[in-house]
Amino acid sequence: MQWQTAKLFQFLSYLKFHIKKIIISMNSNRAYGIGGSTPEEELSKLSAPTEKPTPITDKEFQNRLDKACAALKVKGLDALYINAGTNLYYFSNTQWSASERLVGALLFADGSLHYVVPEFEIGTFNDFIGIDGELIPWLEHESPIQKISEVVDEGTRLAIDDSTPFNLVSRFQEHKKFQISSAEELIKDIRMLKSEAEIAHIQYAMSLTMQVHKATAKILKPGITTAEVENFIHKAHQKLGIASGSYFCIVLFGKDSSFPHGVKSPKSLEENDIVLVDTGTQYKGYISDITRTYSYGKATDEEKKIWAIEKDAQLAAFGAAQLGKSCGHIDDQVRVQLEKNRLGPDYNLPGLPHRTGHGIGLEIHEHPYILKGNAIKIQTGMTFSIEPMIVVPEKFGVRLEDHVYMTKEGPKWFTEPADSIENPFGVR
C-alpha cells in the first residue's frame, strides 16, 4: 500500500509538471518570437554585418570647425574652449576622455586650432589627433589656464564648452585676460543638426540593437533573471561586431516596469508578466537607444488598452514632428492624446511622468529635448526619440521608444514602431 501511494504521488508530480509545461506553452507567444529558444542558439544566429557606413571624413570635421568659427564671429567672440570628451571628438576627430587634468582645444575665430595637453601625454595624444593643430603643453606643476593665457590677447572673449568642469571654469573666470561666457548655445546649434554621415552611423547602431531586441525576446522563460537577460544583450551586441557590447541596458518584468529607469532589486520573469527592455550600443561614437514593451504570455485587457494608447501617443508625436513646429509642440500633442484617454493630465499618473523624447547622437541624451515649453524649432537633420511612456502605478508601465530623423519631407523612423503587445516584432 505504501509502495502504491509513493507511485501515485510520483505519477501525480509527473502529471503536474507536464500539465504546467503545456499551460506555459499555450500561454506563451512563441509563435510571435517570444520565448522558446536559448541564449546559445540565438547568439549562434548573429553575425556582424559586412557593410558598414562610410567613415566621417576630415572634410566634415573641418566643416564643423568652420561653422564654429562663423558662429564666434556672429556672436562677437574671439575664441572657443572645447573640453575633452564628445565635443572635442565632434569638432576635431580627436578622441580623448575628460579627466582631472585639463585636455582640450582652443579654437580662434580666425580658424587657428591649439590643443592643450599635459606634456607627458603628448606622445600618446599625437596618435589620437584628427585635425592638425598647434600644441600648448603644460607640466604637472603648472596651470594650464595660465599656459592658455600666454597665447591670447588681453580681454579675450572666450566661450567655454558647457561640459567643462566648474573647477576649470572658475579658474578661467579668475584670470584677468579672459572675458568668459557659455558656449552651450553655440555648440548646441551646430551639433543638433546631423549630417547624412552621422545619420547613417546612428542608423547602423539602431539596426544592430533591433536585431538584439528580437533575439532577446526569444530567450525569455519563466525564472530568467534580469541579469541573465542583460548579459545576453551585452554578448549579442558583441556578436554583431561591437567590442564594447551594450552602451546601457534596462530590463524590467511585471510591476517593476512601472519604474521608468528600474528598481533596486528587480524580479525574475513570471508567466504573463509585462516585459520592458531598453538598450542600445555605440558605433564609432554614435549611440542607439530602443525600448520595447510586450507580454510574456497573455496580456490583460488593461495592459492591452494601455499599450494601444501608448502606440497612439507615439504616432501622435510622429505626426506632430513637422518642420517649423517647436519641440514643445510635440510634447503638447502627446499629452492631449493621453488626456483624451483619461490619463494625466500633465505629469500626473496614470500617465506620462517625463518628457516625450530627447536628442541622440554622440550622447544618449542631447539637444533637442522633446519637452513641454521647449521653443526650439524642428529642423532638417535633427534626430530624437519618441517615447511617451505610460505608467500605471503599482501595476505596470509601457514604453515604446523609437527615434526619428528629420528630412525635408518630414520625420523618418530609424526603426519601425512595435506591432502589438503580444507580437511586438510583427512576426507573420
Q: What domains sit in the chain, N to C, each tagged with a CATH number? A: 29-47+195-413 (3.90.230.10), 58-191 (3.40.350.10)
Give the Cα separation of 402 and 408 in Å (integer).
20
Q: What is the pLDDT of residue 7?
A: 58
Q: Residue 25: is its pLDDT beyond 50?
A: no
The mean pLDDT of 372-396, rounded to a whole number, is: 98
pLDDT at 17: 44
Chain segment 40-65, per-residue pLDDT in tens? 999 999 999 999 999 999 999 999 99
Partnered with residue 283 across adjacent β-strands are: 286
Instruction: Give the global pTM.
Output: 0.93
Q: Is the pLDDT of residue 377 over 90?
A: yes
pLDDT (tens digit, 9 = 90+) per residue, 387-402? 999 999 999 999 999 9
- pLDDT, one tens digit per residue, over 274-301 is 999 999 999 999 999 999 999 999 999 9
Residue 265, pLDDT above cutoff 80: yes
| pLDDT score of 30 | 77
How much is the pLDDT for 8? 52
pLDDT confidence bin for 20, thresholds 50/70/90: very low
pLDDT band at 96 (very low <50, low <70, confident <90, very high): very high
pLDDT at 418 exceeding the cut of 80: yes
Query: What confidence score (pLDDT) does residue 347 get?
Result: 98
Q: Whole-number mean pLDDT of the chain?
A: 94
Task: Show the cell assigned to 101.
Answer: 587634468
| Residue 22 pLDDT grade (very low, low, confident, very high; cuts 50, 70, 90) | very low
Q: What percent of the chain has pLDDT over 70?
A: 93
Confidence of residue 68 (pLDDT cuts 50, 70, 90): very high
List pLDDT tens digits, range 178-231. 999 999 999 999 999 999 999 999 999 999 999 999 999 999 999 999 999 999
